[in-house]
Amino acid sequence: MDKKLAVYICTGCGIGDALDIDALSNVATKEYKVPVCKSHPFLCGAEGVGMIKQDMEGEGVNTIVIAACSMRVNYDVFNFPNTIVERVNLREQGVWCHPANDEDTQMLAEDSLRMGIVKAQQMSLPEPFQAENLSKNVLVVGGGLAGLTAALESARAGYKTVLVEKNSSLGGWVAKLHKQVGLKPPYNELEDNNINQLIKEVEENPDITVYKGAQIQKISGAPGMFDVEINQGGSVATERVGSIVLATGAVAYDATKLSHLGFGQYPNVITGEMFEEMAARGEFKRPSDGREAKSVAFILCAGSRDKEHLPYCSAICCTESLKQALYVKEKDPEATVYIFYKDMRAAGNYEFLYQRVQKEGALFFRGEIAGIEEDGGSLIIEFDDVLVGDRIRTEPVDLVVLATGMVPTTAIGERLVVQSDDQGKDSEPPADEIIKSNILNLEYRQGPELPTLKYGFADSHFICFPYETRRTGIYAAGSVRAPMDIPSTIRDATGAALKAIQCIELTAQGSAVHPRVWDLSFPEFFMQRCTQCKRCTVECPFGAINEDEKANPLPNPTRCRRCGTCMGACPERIISFKNYSVPMIGSMVKAIEVPEEDEEKPRIIIFACENDAYPALDMAGINRMTISPWVRIIPVRCLGSMNLIWIADALSKGIDGILLLGCKHGDDYQCHFIKGSELASYRLSKISETLNRLALESDRVRMEQVSIMDYDRIPQIIEDFVSKLEEVGPNPYKGF
């Protein structure tokens, strides 16, 4: 495409009052010989947009630099099909956070425009990746409440669905429940569970193919074209699907590990699961002698929130035990019910159930079990009751029911640590853990299952996009994702089905899925220069890149989230997007004018993550906070895409300091691409080498973690860095 570039400068929102627009226009017309450069007092208005469209039609303009407000606003207004559009932020990060009619503010605006122009010059229009033989079917793994719900929701939305269940019948955990707690007000009554109705609807739905007694032997491919081998009693069926819902749920924690609570030791100590079976039979009899149980003790958090067992809360045991207490009270109001808990967490609306069980006369105890002993078949519990402040002792109890927690099915299996070849070297980022749970059996370079969090739940961006696992196109729902109750599971499965459908449709358009849904670009590899170092295949947080036997990367564009982590990782800089590349950002760095040392105008580049840091910088401007005039802000897709060469380029040009603003990483990470900011900090730890080579101080490069709400801290973060650089002194490379 022959580019015809045009620059449009908006003078509204205070920009025209604060800047010398003629001088700014000269940057475009004189320095860069841009053929069209116009200003308008209200560029986002119909007249302003009309002016641009007229130039496109009349003058053949096809590459546009909008020097106006932040790229985070008016993106719908400045959206011109088949046109390269680059935004230069003169407003939020320009005149709103710098003094008007000031020499330094003018220099900042001119540098911003220079950076925008050179980027636009180098960008080309992304051509969406079009995969072949795309499937729009959904695979649902697991036929419990979550899987059945997800399958039915997908099918009802018009997507053919394949459901694979390991057991010979559908229904999962919920099918084993005698009754369920009420899903509607007043939330304190028991209902029959309607899982059988749901099973019937699924089995009768012509758009759902059900494989029972079946397991997934292999999944290869990528979103839009996953090839699934399903082994059903020895015969293997194959299905091509577009996306996958993982709904294999959880199993109860192994009660045989709870001998301190008497399980396995005393016959009348049973699990909640066993109590459901008794309830279904309609009689609560002591296993020891078959006598009817007139007193039942429920021990909550049996092996949960316990660092020797499951350290976490399983979210449902309180409510389920309250429900079971009602089984007892509804059968015999005179029966004695003891409930021992650590904290009563009747989540959702089930505080109403808790109140009802209290009013039915159950005795509640908060604290820790001190011991259980048997006396003629009956059990006596000693308990350190924090509400009394003493150890207390029950009267003899007929039955003790242990409420055991949930273990996600993804947590069961051999643990694999995904090693990179230089594992063990200093400051290597923590390796991913993958547990061979034999559920998905993915043919991925990074391992056969989803990377997990420390308790074996699938890793996802917990705060912002909980369904998105780290394998694009695979959406976890229900208790395999996090412990959850029936209402939450139904909502969760519906949400995951919707995500699966979005993935199918976006993949068909060649677009990325969340969080860069509009993005049609994808990484391209200049393979002639590849050294087979494997950095890209190791560092991709989403396992998008496989390898051939010679360690050449084999990218799967539909698995890609377009974060650019591979681009940042590649030492040979052979990975580029049409509109985002190492040289593109490098030339932006080089476009910055660096004043001579005696002018005492230092220059600092901020590489700002587009997801949190960039909007936080905008918010600082919206709040009219003042930011140091020395900074030049370059947005990056993710700090993971930061290539060290940019730092070397900047420092060798005389830039005094570089500040990387990225998302919080670690246990409760906020990075939109899971590992990006963490990888950036790891790469940074290696920068000292580069700095030493240039005989520069490592203080010139700093990384800070900011969240979107940290806008009020940002001016100070920058100021602190400026002071540090003043101590260090000007970059000796100025003027070279």
Partner 1 sequence: MEPKEPKEISLEMKEYLVSAGAQTLDHCMSCGLCSALCPWRLVSGHTSEVFYIRRMQRLAQLGLEGFDDEEVLFACTTCGMCQRNCPRQVKIIENVRSMRSTTVEAGFVPSSLRSVVGSLHSNGNPWSGPREKRMDWQKGMEVPAFTPDTEYLLFVCCTSCYDPRSQKIARNVVSLLKAAGVSFGVIGVEESCCGETVRKIGDEELFQKLAESNIKLFKEKGVKKIITTSPHCLYTFKHEYPELGGEFEVVHYTQILAELVQEGKLSLTVPQDKKIAYHDPCYLGRHNEIFEAPRNLIKAVPGAELVELSRAREKSLCCAGGGGRLWAEVPRGERFGELRVLDAEERGADTLVTACPYCVIMLEADCLALDKQEKIKIMEISELLSASMGRES
The contact set with partner 1 (CB under 8 A) reads 336, 344, 355, 358-364, 366, 370, 382, 387-395
Evaluate the CA torsion angle 711, 615, 627, 680 in order and state its sign: positive
**Minimum gap (Å) between residue 337 Cβ and partner 1:** 11
Question: Encoding tokens for residue 681?
Answer: 């900090």
**Minimum gap (Å) between residue 483 Cβ and partner 1:** 24
Q: How many CB atoms lie within 10 A of CB 519?
A: 22
**Minimum gap (Å) between residue 304 Cβ and partner 1:** 21
Q: Whole-angstrom Cα distance, residue 258 to residue 460? A: 31
**Minimum gap (Å) between residue 346 Cβ and partner 1:** 11
**Minimum gap (Å) between residue 328 Cβ and partner 1:** 15
The identity of residue 646, as a single letter, is W
**Minimum gap (Å) between residue 285 Cβ and partner 1:** 22
User: Which C-beta is closer to partner 1: that of 356 or that of 700?
Assistant: 356
Task: Give the angle subtended at the CA of 47 by the CAs of 41 and 50, to the nearest 5°.
Answer: 125
User: Which C-beta is closer to partner 1: that of 384 or that of 572?
Assistant: 384
Q: How many residues does the chain have?
A: 736
SS3 labels along 290-351: CCECCEEEEEEEECECCCCCECCCCCCHHHHHHHHHHHHHHHCCCCEEEEEECCCCCCCCCH
Three-state secondary-structure class, residue 453: coil
Bridge partners of residue 297, in order along the sequence: 338, 400
Three-state secondary-structure class, residue 113: helix
Cβ within 8 Å of residue 703, ≥6 positions away: 639, 659, 660, 661, 662, 680, 681, 684
**Minimum gap (Å) between residue 361 Cβ and partner 1:** 5
Among residues 675, 683, 624, the alpha carbon closest in space to that of 658 is found at 683
Question: Encoding tokens for residue 109?
Answer: 């605006």
The identity of residue 152, as a single letter, is L
User: Which C-beta is closer to partner 1: that of 227 or that of 382?
Assistant: 382
Quickly tell me which residue has 């059900």 as its tokens: 210
User: Which C-beta is closer to partner 1: that of 344 or that of 480?
Assistant: 344
Q: Where are the beta strands (DSSP E) in 354-417?
A: 363-375, 378-385, 390-393, 399-404, 406-408, 414-417
User: Which C-beta is closer to partner 1: that of 292 or that of 395?
Assistant: 395
CA distances to 142, 243, 473 from 138, rounded to whole Å, are 13, 5, 10
The identity of residue 647, as a single letter, is I
User: Which C-beta is closer to partner 1: that of 341 or that of 607?
Assistant: 341
User: Which C-beta is closer to partner 1: that of 390 or that of 443?
Assistant: 390
* Rounded CA Rg of the chain: 31
**Minimum gap (Å) between residue 291 Cβ and partner 1:** 19
Cβ within 8 Å of residue 339, ≥6 positions away: 297, 298, 300, 321, 322, 325, 357, 362, 363, 364, 365
User: Which C-beta is closer to partner 1: that of 387 or that of 709?
Assistant: 387
The identity of residue 564, as a single letter, is G
CA–chain centroid gap for 566, Å, is 18
Among residues 45, 77, 47, 83, the alpha carbon closest in space to that of 65 is found at 83
The 8-class DSSP code of residue 146 comes to H
Among residues 119, 107, 19, the alpha carbon closest in space to that of 634 is found at 119
**Minimum gap (Å) between residue 359 Cβ and partner 1:** 6
